[in-house]
Structure 1
Amino acid sequence: MTYRYKIATVFLLGFFIDCINIFMSAIALPEIAFSFSASQSQVAWVANAYILGLVLVMPMSLWLASQLGNQKLLCYSMLLFSLAVWLSGVSNSIYQLIFWRFIQGMAGGLLIPVGQALVFALFPNNERQRISTLIMSVALIAPAFSPAIGGVIVDTLSWHWIFYANLPLSLLTALLAWVWIKRDERKAREKPDLIGLLMISISLLCLLLTFSFYNDYHNLLLAITSFVFSALVFIIYLQYAKKCREPILNFQLLKNKNLCNAFIVYYAVPGVFTGVNLLNIFNLQTNLGYNAAQTGLFMVLYALGAVISMVIGGRWYLRAGKKRLFIIGVTLHSLGIFILYWVSSSSQLNLLILAYLLMGMGGGLSANTAQISSLIDFKGKDLLQGSVLWNINRQVAFSVGTVVLISIFSLTTFSSDLICYQYTFLIASVLGLFSLISVVKEK
């Protein structure tokens, strides 16, 4: 195996671990909610805390890599991740679990942008499409098999083992990083902008708290105040970043249309899907009578549809163009969610199968096209900054999609939970289509 494929293997393993932490743990959320007597909104923080940890540390990862070296950073991050995984598994309260998930996020956030920047530097120009397709393949394998495996683990053991199951992979990744990655010298790099990092973290935290204040405490005034404060801090950061020589997140890169549209599509497709998937996990288990293992198997159908569309999309990217692929992908994804609106009993298995296949096809095509096009115009320093920005956006999209869909579900006031789920899916199918406004405008 050549050196660049060794680097790619380490990154893809770390990326796979990151993906299964979203989808495998989601299968366990109903069991976790029951174990700790927590609401859907509260257990959503098991994912949100992970995202916050990522956001906090990702902008610092490149500077830490320059201080420690790529080898030590990638190895140590996976060792810290392994410790946090174990402590998540032994948690005996929802608050302990949320805290250790936050530490998990910090550890995972060190590997992803550094690993991706290293890989993209070794696969430049036209070769970028090849490695981007590999990245998205991993992003689809994880949601395909980890929920099904996670469901079996929950049904036969307990939700604690959802976290213990990460240990072999995270320790293997740490070992390979130490053995395969060449030791590099420390490089001079300015310290990260801690003031900017603080503002970004506060803004995101307040945004997520907005939905918790409303969903859990039903305090509209507090929710609005939190949202306004989040927006105000973010606006202040944007003004601050214009005067900062090395801003922690360079949002000026979003002037690039490829990156901007990839951002928007990621919220509309993977982001919306994460919220829909979480709600449907609860719906399938509490209203339709499926167990955790059966619920996890639906993600295999999602991955099957995604693989089919990715193979087609990867071959037709240059011929058809990203605009056409985005339109097809977003439309198929929304159609799949719309079909969930019609599912009212476990006997409608054919509709569930069709829904997950279409969501997979649309999600795979849209996400793969976004991954290929997002950083294709960047090199050097802009590539490093773009990698951090893109990976933070990818994670934030998952979290925002979850809290928004849970809030929509909470706002529904129908006679039964099943109908509330159905109308939430109907709204979600429409939300995704709004991204086409930006896509269609692009020349």
Structure 2
Amino acid sequence: MPYRYRVAAVYLLGFFLDLINMFISNVAWPEMGRELHAPVSELAWISHGYLCGLTLVIPCSAWLTQWLGAKRLFMLSLALFTLGTLASGLAPGLNALVAARILQGVGGGLLIPVGQALTWQLFAVHERAKLSSAIMLVALLAPAFSPTLGGLLVESFGWRWIFLSSLPLALLTLALAGLWLKSAEKQAARQPLDVKGLMLGSAGLFAILLGVTQAGNPAAHASAFMWLVGGTFILWQFIRRNGRQPAPLFSLPLLADPLLRYAMFVYQCIPGVFMGTSLVSIVYLQTQLGLSATQTGMLMLPWAMASFVAISFTGKMFNRLGPRPLITAGGLFQAAGILLLTQINSGEQASWLVAAYALMGPGREPFQQHGAEHRFYLYSLGGRCRKPARCGTLIAN
């Protein structure tokens, strides 16, 4: 097998691991809540922990790559991810589980940007369309089948196995990375890491996340308001500092381009709406309508089928129609699916549930396709273009 295909295989395996661990745990929330004696507001930190780890480590990916080299960093991230996965499966309580998920997220957050940097440079421009198709296929299969697999594991072996089941694939990916990836030459000049800026941005994001979480509690509205105001102020200070740095964490002047700014806004909304709706519906379907974890997970299958159809059409229509009609149609599909989901009040309405998820499938993919068209431009930003998407998912959760 040519070297570039081996690198691509390792990257796609890491990408798949990252995605399944964002989706597979969702169907286990009700079971986790019963065993850990935790309400939904606290269970949300299981996802928050993973996404916080992802979000906070991504800005460091370029600096860490210069410091350690791409191969070492990729293997280190896989090792941290594997350790976090094992700790999640063995966690004795909710606090330990959240801590393990943060560690897992730190490892997973580096898999995509580092793997992407390793892979894309090996493919010529005219060959990247096939690579993009493979990436889109993984991005489609992971959220489609991981909830179904998660539901089967929860009902058969318990919620801990939704984490432990990832260990063999993580170890295989780690072994292949060690065997197949070549060590790149170290770069002589290293850009300094803005540690203070990273701490400011992390603190601001955490404060806003805590405020949004507390806003759902009527007794904590005052505290939530203070956290939100404080977090916004800290993020403003981060933006001001970031603009004065010779090697900033984020290249904010690039957002002066209206097309790029709009693409980033759309890219932020994609995971927020999808993940937020998915989490709320999973808890509602299991706790209120009495569906099993497996039945809930299987609802992602019609979503995946509809998404596949949408990908086939949008890929051909984008160059002819442009992004606007596709985004408009996608928003209408997504809204129709969510509206239909709000009208379901019985677990016996299986056909309506399938229709709702099928509508949400094509509703998401035109947005995803629009964002993908700008990836070559965003590639110069490294992994940092992914942080807005993680922030959108965090707030939605």
Given residue 65 of structure 1, which amino acid in structure 2 is its aligned partner?
Answer: T
- Rounded Cα–Cα distance in structure 2 between residues aligned with 1:132 and 1:262: 18
Q: Tell me which residue corresponds to 2:114.
A: 114
Q: Which SS does the other structure have where 1:38 is aligned?
A: coil
Q: Does 1:84 align with 2:84?
A: yes
**2:342 match:** 341
Cα distance in structure 1, aligned partners of 2:190 and 2:325: 41
2:5 alignment partner, SS class:
helix
Superposition pairs of residues 123-272 of structure 1, within 5 angstroms:
123=123, 125-187=125-187, 188-216=189-217, 218-272=219-273
Which residue matches 1:102? 102
CA–CA separation in structure 2 for the residues paired with 1:387 and 1:218: 42
> Structure 1 stretch 59-68 or stretch 17-26: which is displaced more?
59-68
Q: Are the aligned partners of 1:329 and 1:361 in contact in 2 as well (CA < 8 Å)?
A: yes
Relative distance call for 1:12 and 1:258 in structure 2 (3 A) is farther
Tell me what 1:433 maps to.
none
Shift of 1:139: 1.4
**Cα distance in 1 for residues equivalent to 2:394 and 2:70:** 28
Q: Is the 8 A contact 1:125 1:376 kept in 2?
A: no
1:264 Cα deviation after fit: 2.0
Please state how far the C-alpha of 1:131 moved relative to its aligned partner.
2.7
Say yes or no: does 1:273 pair with 2:268: no
Mapped contact 1:13–1:173 kept (Cα < 8 A): yes
Aligned-partner residue type, residue 141 of structure 1: L
Does residue 33 of structure 1 match 2:33?
A: yes
Contact kept in structure 2, 1:269 and 1:333, CA below 8 Å: no
**Contact 1:306–1:365 (CA<8 Å) still a contact in 2?**
no
Structure 2: tracts of 5 or more residues without a match: none
Report deviation, 1:140. 1.3
CA contact (8 A) 1:30 1:282 kept: yes
Asked if the contact 1:128–1:376 (Cα under 8 Å) also holds between the matched residues in 2, the reply is no
Residue 429 of structure 1 is matched in structure 2 by none
Indicate yes or no: 2:389 matched with 1:394: yes
The answer to whether the 8 Å contact 2:62/2:382 transfers is no
Letter of the structure 2 residue corresponding to residue 31 of structure 1: E
Question: Quick one: distance in 2 between partners of 1:397 and 1:126?
Answer: 32
In 2, the alpha carbon distance for the partners of 1:330 and 1:123 equals: 33
**Cα distance, 1:127 vs structure 2:** 4.2
Separation in structure 2 between the aligned mates of residue 325 and residue 169 of structure 1, nearest angstrom: 36
RMSD after superposition: 1.7
**Which residue of 2 is the match for residue 425 of structure 1?**
none
Distance 1:200 1:234, change over 3 A: same
Aligned match of 2:43: 43
Q: CA-to-partner distance for each residue in 1:88-115, whole Å, 9 max, x for gaps?
A: 1111110000001000111111221111
CA apart distance, 1:125: 4.2
Shift of 1:297: 0.1
Residue in 2 aligned with 1:58?
58
Alignment: residue pair count: 396
Residue in 1 that maps onto 2:333: 332
Q: Shift of the alpha carbon at 1:128?
A: 4.0
TM-score by length of 2: 0.95
1:357 matched residue in structure 2: 358
Deviation at 1:206, TM superposition (A): 0.5
Question: Is the contact between residue 132 and residue 368 of structure 1 (CA under 8 Å) also seen in structure 2?
Answer: no
In the TM superposition, structure 1's runs of 4+ consecutive aligned residues that sit over 6 Å from their partners are none
Q: Shift in Å at residue 4 of structure 1?
A: 2.4
How far residue 249 of structure 1 moved from its aligned partner, in angstroms, is: 2.0
Quote the offset at 1:253 in angstroms.
Answer: 2.4
- CA-CA distance at 1:192 after TM superposition: 1.4
Q: 1:66 to 1:335 in 2, by over 3 A?
A: same
Cα deviation code 1:375-422 (max 9, x no counterpart) = 3335xxxx34x23222222222222111xxxxxxxxxxxxxxxxxxxx
Q: How many angstroms does 1:258 deviate by?
A: 3.9
**Residue in 1 aligned with 2:12?**
12
Question: Cα 1:7–1:268, aligned 2, differ >3 Å: closer, same or farther?
Answer: same
Deviation per residue, 1:139-159 (Å, 9 max, x gap): 110111010010000001110
Which stretch of the first structure deviates more once superposed, 322-331 or 189-198? 322-331
**1:254 CA displacement:** 2.3
Q: Is the 8 A contact 2:334 2:362 kept in 1?
A: yes
CA distance in 1, matches of 2:356, 2:126: 34
Q: Map 1:419-438 onto structure 2 (within 5 A).
A: none
Partner residue of 1:311? 312
Measured after TM superposition, the shift of residue 356 of structure 1 is 0.5
For 2:160 and 2:260, locate their aligned partners in 1 and report how far apart those are by CA, in whole Å: 38
1:164 offset after TM fit, Å?
A: 0.3
1:255: Cα distance to partner? 2.5
Q: Indicate how the Cα distance of structure 1 residues 217 and 81 shifts in structure 2: closer, same or farther if over 3 A, else same.
A: farther
C-alpha displacement of 1:57: 1.5
Q: Deviations over 1:135-190 (max 9, x none)?
A: 22211101110100100000011100010011111111111211221111211311
Task: Name the SS of the counterpart of 1:377 in structure 2.
Answer: helix
Question: Judging changes above 3 Å, is the alpha-carbon distance between structure 1 residues 80 and 217 closer, same or farther for their aligned structure 2 residues?
Answer: farther
Q: Note the C-alpha offset of 1:49.
A: 1.0
The alpha carbon displacement at 1:216 in A equals 4.8
**CA offset digits 1:54-77 (Å, max 9, x no partner):** 122111122222222211111121
Task: Answer whether contact 1:61 1:114 (CA < 8 A) is retained.
Answer: yes
Measured after TM superposition, the shift of residue 8 of structure 1 is: 1.9
TM-score normalised by the chain length of structure 1 = 0.85
Q: Distance in 2 between matches of 1:75 and 1:331?
A: 42
Residue type of the alignment partner of 2:117: A
Cα contact 1:274–1:398 (8 A) shared by 2: yes
d(CA) in 1 for partners of 2:348, 2:218:
36
Following superposition, the deviation at residue 250 of structure 1 comes to: 2.1
Residues 147, 297 of structure 2: 8 Å contact kept: yes
CA distance in 2, matches of 1:245, 1:45: 35
